[in-house]
Amino acid sequence: MITLAVVVILLVSLYLYNTRTFKYWEQRGIKHDKPLPLFGNNLKGYIFIKSMTQIAHDLYWKYPTEKVVGFFRSTQPELIIRDPEIAKRILITDFDYFWQRGFTPHKTVFEPLMQNLFFAEGDIWKLLRQRMTPAFTSGKLKAMFPLIVERAEKLQARALAAAVDGKPVDARDLMARFTTDFIGACGFGLDADSLNDEDSAFRKLGIKIFKFGTMDIIKAIAKELFPELLQNMKVWVRLEGEINELVGEILRQRNHKPVGRNDFIDLMLECKQKGTMVGESIEKRKPDGTPEIVSLELNDGIIGAQVFVFFAAGFETSSSATSYTLHELAYHPEVQKKAQDEIDRVLAKHDNKLSYDAVKEMTYLEWVFKEGMRMFPSLGFLLRRSTRPYTFPDLGVTIDENIKVLIPLQSLHNDPKYFPEPEVFRPERFDPEEFDSANKYVYLPFGDGPRACIGARLGLMQSLAGLAAVLSSFTVEPAPETVRHPIVDPKSAIVQSITKGLPLTFRPREK
């Protein structure tokens, strides 16, 4: 009898603990779905029926007249933002309240590989951003561009070999190999040759970064379900050894000094040569309210973390965006022909060679790529976390410190309120004379504000170079096995991915 009473008390205690926050949005008058004990509103995410992007998309359309929608990730309250003006406040106007990215548990033991510009929080992020921003100037990008062109030429050769055999080409895999080789050259100073070597070690590393094993997934879910208990559990430990060994070997080969290669390692070594990073704290205040002065040494471990995110962020996002754009072009031959005519015309002015200046002139191709990212943004959502209590002026609602806010890009980009007939692939939307400036905070494939993607211009130029290389030599068409509307992998996390690839037929062009 005593045992039964203990069991009942434990079950009741567990239920109360796992529902303790479930009145949060109701008390603030925010509409939301009824949460389930332990899982909140994220059960479909935990059992891999839907990705976070898909779950947010469903809630976005379920409450079409609301500016925000409440959500519970397990027991943690979060807020889905449906209104672009509120998104602007979060990303820019009131950034001081939302500088945390929010992907790492609050007050966790930081993983070495997470000390990078994407995941890092607080003063580490601020000092790194301050030091690294000059490394992404137009001049640096232009100096790096010959490395991109070399890989684009190999991309053409790889596609030609497949086209001659008459076999469908998985555009997703092809563009991932191009992006991997680009990152190998521009990031690590290596000739990875993933386009020709089926078993390229570098290609395998790219796959490994995004291929989570069963235990990795269990760890990630467990950290969400029991954040207080498991806040110190590491997720990226499986990659630390490989990344640090690779970066360490390259740094030793260069004697820890820039060698004039103009790649990312060189840029980081130039940043290191400038000495200790010093700046005003974003986290700490003196008694008089002014920011404290903080400093950080750019050591080999922190350089390794930047190179890791350069690889991870660039590899998955660019290959996803370019392959999806090719997929849409295969179904829109009139758009493809218009892009090819522009590419031919521009290349004819530049001795039929790809170059930084040539790609900059391909304005219609850029509209094409932007339309691809509108329909299927690589990052399906942006995430931020409040650093202290914040009141939304538009709503009269106050949230506490450490509440995450999610901006659902997939939903905003495909809302007819902002983009009429969003299901239609129409690059002319991005003609400056037609683009609605009011949509600036709707269309956010690279984010915006102080935490916008620092490599946006590099990613754009590399992607356009890859597309130009393909379209100058080939016409892409649907293959027999091509699925018109590709299925998104429900296990997708930050970056959206597609199941079973994107098979297309590549036909050599007659010029």
Rounded to whole angstroms, how far apart are CA atoms 59 and 44? 13
Picking from 474, 447, 476, 446, the residue whose alpha carbon sits closest to that of residue 461 is 446
DSSP state of 271: H
Give domain status of residue 11, yes or no.
Answer: no
> How does DSSP classify residue 32?
B
Relative to beta strand 169-170, strand 503-508 is antiparallel
What pLDDT, on the 0 to 100 scale, is given for residue 221? 66
Cα 491–chain centre separation: 15
Look up residue 117 and give its two tokens. Answer: 């510009």
Place of tokens 């840029």: 267
Domain for residue 307, yes or no? yes
DSSP 289: S
**Could you tell me if residue 104 is inside a domain?**
no
Strand partners, 69: 80
Give me the pLDDT at residue 191, please: 66
| pLDDT value for 216 | 62
Residue with tokens 């029926």: 49
Distance of CA 459 to CAs 74, 133, 478, Å?
35, 15, 26
Using alpha carbons, select from 406, 446, 445 the residue that is nearest to residue 45.
Answer: 406
Low pLDDT (below 70) residues in the chain: 1-2, 13, 15, 105-110, 191-238, 511
Q: Is residue 26 part of a domain?
A: no
Q: Within 10 A of 23 (CB to CB), how many other CB atoms are there?
A: 10
Q: What type of residue sits at position 51?
A: S
Place of tokens 């479930």: 22
**Nearby residues of 211 by Cβ (< 8 Å), 6 or more positions away:** none
Residue 426 lies in a domain: yes
Strands 404-407 and 76-81: parallel
Planar angle of CA 121, 127, 129, nearest 5 degrees: 80
Is 453 annotated as a binding-site member?
Answer: yes
From CA 252, how far away is CA 271, in angstroms rounded?
17
The answer to whether residue 167 sits within a structural domain is yes
CA 184 to chain centre: 19
| Tokens representing residue 67 in the block | 């500016």
The whole-angstrom separation of Cα 370 and Cα 300 is: 36
- Largest alpha-carbon pair distance within the chain? 89
**Strands 277-285 and 291-296, bridge-based pairing:** antiparallel
- CB count in 10 Å sphere of residue 352: 12
Helical axes 456-473 vs 300-330, angle rounded to 10°: 40
The total domain count for the chain is 1
What is the C-alpha to C-alpha distance for residues 394 and 472, in angstroms, rounded to an integer? Answer: 49
Strand runs (DSSP E) across 433-487, as ranges? 474-478
| 3-class DSSP state of 488 | strand
User: Which CATH number does the domain housing residue 204 bear?
Assistant: 1.10.630.10
Taking the mean position of all CA atoms in its chain, how far away is CA 138? 22
In DSSP terms, 277 is beta-bridged to 296
Whether 122 is in a domain gets the answer yes
In the three-class reduction of DSSP (H, G, I as helix; E, B as strand; rest coil), residue 78 is classed as strand
Instruction: Decide: 135 and 267 in contact? Cβ < 8 Å.
Output: yes
Amino acid at 385: R
Domain carrying residue 194? 115-379+414-508
From the list 223, 478, 196, the residue with the least C-alpha distance to 331 is 478
Q: What is the pTM of this model?
A: 0.89
What does the alpha-carbon distance between residue 136 and residue 158 come to, in Å, rounded to a whole number?
Answer: 30
CA–CA separation, 286 and 268 (whole Å): 32
Rounded to a whole number of angstroms, the CA Rg of the chain reads: 24
| Residue in this structure with the two tokens 């700490």, named with its chain if needed | 284
Q: Cα dist. 102→39, 119, 391, 470, 493 in Å? A: 19, 8, 19, 37, 14
Q: How crowded is residue 4: how many other Cβ atoms within 10 Å of its Cβ?
A: 8
DSSP 186: I
Instruction: Give CA–CA dist 320/501, Å, rounded.
Output: 10
Question: Which residue spans within 361-491 are E strands per DSSP?
Answer: 382-385, 390-392, 397-399, 404-407, 474-478
Task: Of 151, 159, 142, give the one whose Cα is nearest residue 179.
Answer: 151
477 falls within a domain = yes
